[in-house]
Amino acid sequence: MAGTERFEQLIAFLGSHLPEPVEQQSDGAGGIIFTGGSPGEVIAYLTESVVAIAEFRVRWENPGTPVVKARRVGILKWRRLPETALMNAIASLIKGAREMRLGRYRTCRFCGTSNPPEWLQSEDLCQTCAERESGTVH
């Protein structure tokens, strides 16, 4: 079923509407996981019946092991929706997930760089500056 024309349209749509660069990988069961942005911003998961959109998040299992922990924004049963409504809904979910992710970025007080939360030592200090300014080692 995953080879249907509409499924292929969704692959193309997600590839062109997610933040660049877009990476795709198989889930091993016929579905596709898309990650958009660098660092990651939005994750989309496409199966033969649903498309799920999530905010990219990272959780630290330990100081050297980041684990992607997506936070789902919405899920659509794509076979039940008309094409225009489906594409508009997916675009809105991607926009919302991206805005949520970028809203968590903070600017480092030392270097002035905007960083995703997993790259911060504290609310306004990036890990690079923390190492340089205080000798903290990660």
Question: pLDDT for 82-102, tens place per residue?
Answer: 999 999 999 999 999 999 999
Same domain, 80 and 32: yes
Same domain? For 100 and 80 the reply is yes
As a whole number, the mean pLDDT across the chain is 92
- Residue 123: domain span: 105-138
Indicate whether 10 and 20 sit together in one domain. yes
Same domain, 65 and 116: no
Rounded Cα gap, residues 129 and 1, in angstroms: 50
> What percent of the chain shows pLDDT beyond 70?
94
* Phi, psi angles (nearest 5°) of residue 27: -90, 0
Query: Are 43 and 57 within one domain?
Result: yes
Same-domain pairing of 20 and 87? yes
- What is the number of domains present in the chain? 2
**pLDDT in the model for residue 1:** 45
35 lies in the same domain as 11 = yes
71 forms beta bridges with 55
The CA distance from 54 to 98, in Å, is 9
* pLDDT exceeds 80 at position 56: yes
pTM attached to this predicted model? 0.89
pLDDT at 60: 83
In a shared domain, residues 115 and 80: no
Predicted confidence at residue 64, as pLDDT, reads 79
Q: Average pLDDT, stretch 62-82? A: 92
- Clarify whether residues 57 and 78 are in a common domain: yes
